[in-house]
Structure 1
């Protein structure tokens, strides 16, 4: 089985290993695969069309995504304070 992940350049690539983090292409947010906010959004429907996956946090950040305020609270607060 192959999986499609986003690389640091924001482009999709094939991987034999599933992504460790999920994200939303339009909102440019990444978080844990078990994030309650993402799971709620997925259950409502259209969120899945914009779902992306990353191998790790470093790749998600390099691709221009920010941490989720729900499941990655500490990372989100650090990101927010770094923005000014």
Structure 2
């Protein structure tokens, strides 16, 4: 898990660092630290959160191992299965 706030001293550094991680495949999902929710990098809900609450994951397994659940906005099918308590992985 990578915290957005730890990617650089200023906005430009963080932006460059994140772009590099995405390009290298080290980051494929984003997460909301407070509620422990993960979703796609393009999710509208994720783009609204504060920098200090934003985290990134290499893959779904990493997000799950950290105790995060799927986003109901960008991963609705996985969210429905998670909410129903079914095996959705």
Does TM, normalized by the shorter one, top 0.5? yes
Determine which structure has the larger strand proportion and give its number. 1
Corresponding position of 1:72:
75
Corresponding position of 2:33:
25
Which whole-Å CA distance do the structure 1 matches of 2:43 and 2:80 have between them? Answer: 17
Corresponding position of 1:9:
none
**Stretches of structure 2 lacking an aligned partner (at least 5 in a row):** 4-20
Which whole-Å CA distance do the structure 2 matches of 1:5 and 1:38 have between them? Answer: 15
- Following TM superposition, where does structure 1 have runs of at least 4 consecutive aligned residues deviating by more than 4 angstroms? none
Q: Deviations over 1:40-69 (max 9, x none)?
A: x14xxxx21111000011110111000000
Which whole-Å CA distance do the structure 1 matches of 2:56 and 2:28 have between them? Answer: 7
TM-score, length of structure 1 as denominator length: 0.69
Which of residues 2, 19, 22 is equivalent to 1:5? 2
Determine which structure has the larger helix proportion and give its number. 2
Aligned positions of 1:48-59 closer than 5 A: 48-59=51-62
For the pair shown, the structure with the greater C-alpha radius of gyration is 2
